[in-house]
Amino acid sequence: MVPRDRDDAGHARNARPRDRFGRPLPPGSPGVERIPDDLALPPNETLDYAQRLLDDGLAFNAHEVLEAAWKSGPFAERMLWQGLAQYAVGLTHIQRGNPKGARTLLERAVGRLDAAEPLPYDVDGPGLRTHAERLLTDLAAGREIPEDDLIPRLRG
């Protein structure tokens, strides 16, 4: 049996480097800088950091930042952070060429964001919904989606 990478607490953690889409690379390969597992930022800093990553085409890393907020944030904001994290994963699936996964995650994301209304921190629910609907239409039609169309504005 191949031993698994573990963190200091003994939890399984894959230490392999990852490409810009979050896919594992062979050990020792150069990869994209990882987001720390224990990242804990205030909400506005989380949104700013995630936006910078999305702007740079790093939707997987944005997902990790948003997921950290979901896991460390207050229960009352769970739907917001889950929805935003799933949105970023939906974008990651588009980048990876997985339209079915992209549709599933974008639909879930919109549902969670709708359930979290009214959205705090100036999160642009209507803009994100419109952007997701446009992506879902393109995915359903089998259209190629350019990278520039994978950069939503998280805040209004």
Q: What value, to the nearest 5°, has the Cα angle with vertex 23 and ends 22 and 28?
A: 105
Greater model confidence, 5 or 120: 120
User: Which residues are paired to 6 by β-bridges?
Assistant: 12
pLDDT at 12: 52
Instruction: Give the length of the chain.
Output: 156
Measured CA angle at 95 (ends 91, 101), to 5 deg:
60
pLDDT digits (tens, 9 = 90+) for 85-104: 999 999 999 999 999 999 99
pLDDT tens digits, one per residue of 49-78: 999 999 999 999 999 999 999 999 899 999
Q: What is the set of domains in the chain, with CATH numbers?
A: 43-150 (1.10.3450.10)
Tens of pLDDT, residues 99-122: 999 999 999 999 999 999 999 999
pLDDT at res. 16:
82
Q: What is the pLDDT of residue 150?
A: 97
